[in-house]
Chain A
Amino acid sequence: MDAPEYSITTRGLNLWYGQFQALVDVSLDIPARRITALIGPSGCGKTTLLRCFNRINERLGYVTTRGEIHVLGRNIYAPDVSLLELRKAVGMVFQRPNPLPLSVYENVVFGLRLHHRRGELPRARLDAAVEQALREVGLWNDLKDRLDTPATRLQLEQQQKLCIARLLPLKPQVILMDEPCSALDVNGTRAIEELLFALREHYTLVVVTHNMAQARRASDECIFMLLGRVIEHRRTEDLFLNPRRPETAEYIEGRYG
């Protein structure tokens, strides 16, 4: 087996919300083209960590970050890094599906419109991008005749798939997902999980989940966090079958959390 290639590495990452330290000395290597699940009880910092990778945490003015994060080999806190380029390469899917209040079509091409001048986007290019992105998430057949409907009228599962689809025209390499199934029912969850496996071929996926069974089913590697620290990071089946640390064992047995 060839050496693993890492999409995201962090070294000594610390993060404070005001006085409260939410991440403590996080050092991780997240492999490319794998599904990595972040698990842990509420408030353990898994969502915070995820939101560091595209620096969307910084929206809140009171966040202080120390340490290094390299995404795709670049230090994302280097002064010459463009936030916009970073966010093009690192897409994000949120807990509640949040399609923009636009049509399905405009949601998918939204990213292209942000990053290109009007003249660079002939209709044919947009059409092609929409079809490709919707095919990739399995929505094309359902929605190809309804591209003009407002995205907020779709079913939740379709909305969440659309939220994934709208990342794709920007050709991201990493997709961050913050509990992408927590607003969905069983069928929606299954559909999204199947989609994760399909996307794994081309993208690095980092998925925060509250649902241990989901982490077990739908991830290659698993990172267990507690109180802002990474407790254990191993291949998913190893972590669940013979956890090394007692905290991990107790958590996956459901003794707390």
Chain B
Amino acid sequence: MSETPLETLRRHRPRWDRVGERAVEGLIRLCGYSAILFVLGIFLFVFREGAPLLPKLDWGRVLLSPEWYPTSRMHVRYGVAAMIAGTLSVTALAMVLAVPFGLGAAIFVSEFCTGRVKETLKIVIELLAAIPSIVWGFIGLSVTNRLIQTYLPAPVGLNLFNAACLLALMSVPIIVSIGEDALKAVPDSYREAALALGATRWQTVYRVLLPAARHGLLAAVLLGVGRAIGETMAVLMATGHANQFPRSLFDPIRTLTATIAAELGETAVGSDHYRMLFVIGLMLFTITFIVNLLADLAVRGVRNKTG
């Protein structure tokens, strides 16, 4: 053996390098593009199933009327106004509960606790995000349902408030982890500058960190909104699934997502009812697309400011 390691390298590395490098690069590229492919594919599928009905719909009726009678013999009506109101109201109420809680927790985790407490909290919060939504729905049916009936002036426990509480608990982990990232991204020199001027920790947070991290925090909130709008199982189980405009916090409601989940299995493929459910899917697609776009723009705002 007279070859030095360097000669071995020269002889064998280049070919391996080239082949291996290309293969890995191709694979990674495929992974990247596949995301686009899947999103487009799903959209096209939903669109294809819903499209034949689109020209036949009376959009004024659909968007403004609460009358949803997809199986009526005499007079089929596809009004989704009450469901849109249900989705928006349950999401809004969920955010009213989740945003202060989530941002507060993000601030606490990021700025006020250290070491073991911080690590434990982060793990527990991530665990909260990992609870399957059917479990949340189950809690809604059996636990919060009874609590609401016992302690609040509500005739039924399955209602807007119940579902909003569950959605809030489901969005909090997202808001906390993204919000914490946003706060962590604020340079430490800002904290030192404020503290050295005699700021208390809370003054540092609200005078310096919140303004500096506002884009990231907004993105956190919007992603939480996206989570709440898209949730299906928990709201199907906890809202009461009653197709009506909510008049109080304790009215049962119905959401767009829950309607699809509850009815799709009972429709004939290709029927108008079936296609209408896909149209609702398109509406959801549009709403979440707008929310995600806003979140993205918010995050981009961060880069422009700091970059």
Contact = CB atoms under 8 A, between A and B. Distances in A.
A130 interface: no
A144 interface: no
A88 B189 contact: no
Given A61-B114, A96-B189, A102 B195 contact: no
Interface stretch (B79-87, B100-108, B207-215, B279-287): B207-215
A84 B198 contact: yes
Interface stretch (A70-78, A111-119, A120-128): A111-119
B211 A94 contact: no
Interface residues of A, number: 28
A101 B190 contact: yes
A170 B197 contact: yes
B304 to A, nearest CB: 12
A94 B189 contact: yes
Contact of B199 (A86, A98, A114, A167): A114
Contacts of A98: 187, 189-190, 192-193
A92 interface: yes
A37 B264 CA distance: 77
A81 interface: no
A114 B211 contact: no
B206 to A, nearest CB: 11
Given A56-B192, A101-B211, A101-B212, A87 B197 contact: yes
A86 B196 CA distance: 9
B197 A91 contact: yes
B7 to A, nearest CB: 42
Contact of B196 (A85, A91, A96): A91
Nearest to A99: B193
Nearest to A84: B198
B305 interface: yes
B72 interface: no
What's the interface size class on B, roughly? Answer: 20 to 34
A91 B199 CA distance: 12
Nearest to B186: A101
B190 A113 contact: no
Looking at A96, A102, A170, which has the most chain B CB atoms within 10 Å of its CB? Answer: A102
Nearest to A90: B196
B196 A61 contact: no
Contacts of B193: 94, 98-100, 163
Interface string B247-290: 00000000000000000000000000000000000000000000
Given A61-B115, A94-B192, A94-B193, A100 B198 contact: no
Given A59-B192, A100-B194, 19 more contacts: A54-B196, A56-B196, A61-B115, A84-B198, A84-B199, A87-B196, A87-B198, A88-B198, A92-B196, A98-B187, A98-B190, A98-B192, A101-B208, A102-B211, A110-B207, A114-B198, A114-B203, A167-B197, A170-B198
Interface of B: 114-115, 187, 189-200, 203, 207-208, 211-212, 305
Interface of A: 54, 56, 59, 61, 83-88, 91-92, 94, 96, 98-102, 110-111, 113-115, 163, 166-167, 170
Q: Across the A-B interface, give the 8 residue pairs with the lowest CB-CB distance, nearest first.
A: A98-B189, A87-B198, A92-B196, A84-B198, A111-B197, A98-B193, A88-B198, A101-B212
12 contacts: A54-B196, A59-B192, A61-B115, A86-B198, A87-B197, A91-B197, A94-B189, A98-B187, A100-B194, A101-B208, A111-B197, A167-B197
